[in-house]
A and B are shown apart, each in its own frame.
Chain A
Amino acid sequence: QSVLTQPPSVSAAPGQKVTISCSGSSSNVGNNYVSWYQQLSGTAPKLLIYENNNRPSGIPDRFAGSKSGTSATLGITGLQTGDEADYYCGTWDSSLTAYVFGTGTKVTVL
C-alpha cells in the first residue's frame, strides 16, 4: 500500500500536454525532494526528474517537474507515442525511514 497517490491513468493526443499528480504528506513529499521515473513496457525504470524539477542529461525539456506543499506534479508537453509508459514519483519518507514510490500512472497517447 503506497503512501504516495497518483492517478491510475492519463491520456491525450499527440502534441498535447498531460500532467500527473503525486500526493503525499509532510513526512515525505512535504519535506523531501521528489523524483520521477519512466518505465517503458518490459524495461527497467529510468530517471526522468530529480530534486523536484531537475532533468538528468539527455532528458528533453518536454518533461518538467514541480512541487507545492505535499503534492508534486510531472508535466509532459508535446506528447509523443514514445512517451507511452508507466510513470512513478518517489521520495524519502522520514517517518517510515524508507523510500516510497507512488502508485504509478499509465500514460496513453491517443
Chain B
Amino acid sequence: EVLLVESGGDLIQPGGSLRLSCAASGFTLYGYSMNWVRQAPGKGLEWFSYITSSTSTIYYADSVKGRFTISRDNAKNSLFLQMNSLRVEDTAIYYCARVRGSGMSYYYMDVWGKGTTVTVSS
C-alpha cells in the first residue's frame, strides 16, 4: 500500500522552530517530486512548498519564504520541512503529498498523508 505518514507536529511558541518529517512507504520516494500543503483551522488548502526528486528545483509560497526549508533524503525515503520563526498564523494541519504530472502545467497530487498538527501559541 502506498502511504505517506507525517510526524513532528507540536505546540510551539511564536518565534520557535520545528522540523516535520514525512515517511513514504509502498513506493520509492526517488523519482517523485513532493510538496507540502497546509490547512489552518476552518480554512481552505494552502500549497506552500515543492521539491523535485533531485532537489534541483524548489519553490516556496511567499507566506513561508525565508522561514521554511524543504528537503528530502531519498535513501531514507523521507521528506522534511524545517520551520523557523514560527508565527501564530502558521497554526495548521500540515500535509505532505506526492506530486505527479509531466511538467508543472500538469501538476497534481495523487497521494496524501493524514497530516500532522502544528499549533503556534504562547
Contacts and interface: CB of A to CB of B under 8 A. Distances in A.
Interface of A: 2, 31-33, 35, 37, 39, 43-47, 50-51, 56, 86, 88, 90-92, 94, 97-104
B107 to A, nearest CB: 4
B45 A45 contact: yes
Interface stretch (B69-77, B83-91, B97-105): B97-105
A88 B59 contact: no
Contacts of B97: 45
Nearest to B61: A98
Q: Is the interface of A mostly helix, strand, loop or mixed?
A: strand
B32 interface: no
Nearest to B4: A44
Number of chain B interface residues as a range: 20 to 34
A99 B104 CA distance: 9
Nearest to A2: B44
Contacts of A103: 44
Interface in B83-122: 95, 97, 100-101, 104-110, 112-115
Given A35-B107, A35-B108, 14 more contacts: A31-B105, A32-B104, A32-B105, A35-B109, A44-B112, A44-B113, A45-B109, A47-B108, A50-B108, A51-B108, A90-B47, A94-B105, A98-B59, A99-B50
A90 B114 CA distance: 19
Contacts of B108: 33, 35, 47, 50-51, 90
